[in-house]
Structure 1
Amino acid sequence: MGVLFGGVTDTEADEETMESEFWKDLYAYQLQGTGRWLSLNLKRPKKRGGGGGGAAAKERKRKDAEEAARKRKEEEDAEERRYREEDDESSGEDEQGEEQEDEEERVRLQAIELARAEREAKIRATEKEQQQQMRDPHDSSISQPGSEARNPVSGPEKTVPPPGDHDNDDDPQYSVARERYNSMLAIQRNTLYMW
């Protein structure tokens, strides 16, 4: 079977004007039998793993992330209330004790800030991982959760293109050659190669 695709027809009305008609159709010629032309249509590849669950899964992941963030916030607030109550109980002691408590409070606040920064880094890493999984759920190269938080010095961040409907390079709508694209031809053993 032979395949014919693309091309352009240029028509010159005079020396200064040229009209081009671009051909984006794909045809096949049946060499054996009747020798007839067939119109070919490119189709998108079928999705794997059932269909229709993508939007629900994204919504579920988003809600889970919001719930986890809400729980973390409640834990931080409870911890802060506990430290404030401890401060209120110890306010009746002498001045020497107060200076020592001030120092302890400063150390506690630093520990709280450090823990909060670590949690936020983990949240960011988890959100990045979820975004990558939403873009390409079959990609096995995605890092484990929290791995970015454990290794904060990992160099410059990689920029990821925004997600879109054209995640698959095999999609015919996004793999069509542009007009005026020059193809290369080669013939070897009765086979025409075009690239």
Structure 2
Amino acid sequence: MKALAILALAVLLLTGCASTPTTAASSPPNDYTAPPTGDGTTPTPEPSGPGTYMVGIKGATVLMEVPDSAGPDAETIAVLQSAGVTPGSWIKADLDNRKGQDAAVLNVVGLSTPDGKRVEYKSLPVVTNTVQTSGMTSDVQRRYVTWSNAQKASAQAGERVTVWLMSTTPTPSGFVRVDAASGTAGPFTKAAKQ
């Protein structure tokens, strides 16, 4: 008799559990909190748009003016144009490696928009590597080579340099992310607006 009462109670409990309403898998409960993103933080709106951004690369501190409306000196623009390169927009970076132990390089800065558009700015040494000098007159070629040899994208330990980066397109409006890399293929490190 005791076994029959336990069995009846178990059936009653199981039947009661099956009749409780369930929440659809696609709709979270009202107190649902979004899971953290891949880097362990919950997504939040961040300051973006034109201004000064900071990022660390190999022990160096990089402050970037995004975009730099003035651009570099007139000679740089004239030399690039004589080589057939038309700059669209500029970023000026202060690569401060005075406290670093190893050389630091800044070759690419990327700006991304909410819809996934990305514009990359390349350091002038990277840009000069893509220019064909064979069609230039000897005077233009000499001027170009002299100028390109003077361009910097790296700072040795204890050194501080200015790095100019350019894009052949205008600065994208509404960009929401700025990142930087030593190599042209990354890895990219997110910069913080100052």
TM above 0.5, one fold?
A: no
Higher percent of residues as strand: 2
TM-score band (shorter)? under 0.3
Relative to the length of structure 2, the TM-score reads 0.24
- Give the structure with the higher percent helix: 1
- TM-score of the two chains, using structure 1 as the length reference: 0.24
